[in-house]
Amino acid sequence: MLKKKIEISNLRVGYGNEQALKGISLDVYENEILAIIGPAQSGKTTLLKVINRTVEFIPGVQVEGSVKIDGQDVLDVKNVYELRRKIGMVFPLPIGLPLSIYDNVAFAPRAAGVYDSTKLDELVERCLKQAALWEEVKDRLSSLGTRLSGGQQQRLTIARALSHQPEILCLDEFSIAVDPVTTMRIEDVLRELRSQVTIILVTNLVQQARRLADRTAFLFNGELIEIDSNDVIFSNSPTNRVTYDYVMGNFG
Partner 1 sequence: MSLRHRLDTVTEPIIERIIQLCGISAIVFVFGIFFFVFREGSDLLFRGFDLVEFLTSPQWYPDSVGHKRYGALALIAGTTSVTLLAMAIAVPFGLGAAIFISEFCSPKLRETFKIVIELLAAIPSVVWGFIGLTLMNELIITLFDAPIGLTVLNGGVILALMSVPVIVSIGEDSLKAVPDSYREAAEALGATRWQIIYRVLLPAAKNGLLAAVLLGIARGIGETMAVLMATGHAVKIPHSVLDSVRTLTATIAAELGEAPVHSDHYQVLFLIGVLLFTISFFINLAADLIIKGIGRK
Contact set with partner 1 (CB under 8 A): 52, 54, 57, 59, 81-85, 87, 89, 91, 93, 95, 97-100, 107-108, 110-112, 142-144, 157, 160-161, 163-164
Q: CB 89 → partner 1: shortest distance, Å?
A: 4
In whole angstroms, the minimum distance from the beta carbon of 87 to partner 1 comes to 8
Give the burial class of 9: count Cβ atoms within 10 A of its Cβ; 0-12 exposed, 13-18 middle, 19 or more buried.
Answer: middle
Pick the closer one to partner 1 by CB: 162 or 225. Answer: 162
CB of 248 to partner 1, least distance (A): 34
Amino acid at 245: D
Contact 178, 186 (CB under 8 A): yes
Q: Residue 140 CB, nearest distance to partner 1 (Å)?
A: 11
- Dihedral Cα 60, 61, 62, 68, nearest 10 deg: -150
Q: Which is nearer to partner 1, 81 or 121 (CB)?
A: 81
3-state SS of 110-160 is: HHCCCCCHHHHHHHHHHHHHHCCCHHHHCCCCCCEHHHCCHHHHHHHHHHH
Query: Smallest distance from the beta carbon of 85 to partner 1, in angstroms?
Result: 4
Distance separating alpha carbons of residues 93 and 153, to the nearest angstrom: 9
> In angstroms, what is the minimal distance from the CB of 83 to partner 1?
8
Separation CA 130–CA 132 (nearest Å): 5
Phi and psi angles of residue 144, each rounded to the nearest 5 degrees, phi first: -65, 135
Cβ nearer to partner 1, comparing 63 with 233? 63
Phi, psi of 162 (to 5 degrees): -85, -10
Nearer to partner 1, 161 or 189 (CB): 161
Q: Report helix, strand and coil shares of the chain as percent, to nearest 5.
A: 40, 25, 35
Query: Which among 66, 67, 60, 47 is positioned nearest to 18, based on CA atoms?
Result: 60
Helix (H, G, I), strand (E, B) or coil at 33: strand
Min separation Cβ 230 and partner 1, Å: 27
Nearer to partner 1, 152 or 216 (CB): 152
Nearer to partner 1, 87 or 132 (CB): 87
Of residues 61 and 242, the one with the C-beta less far from partner 1: 61
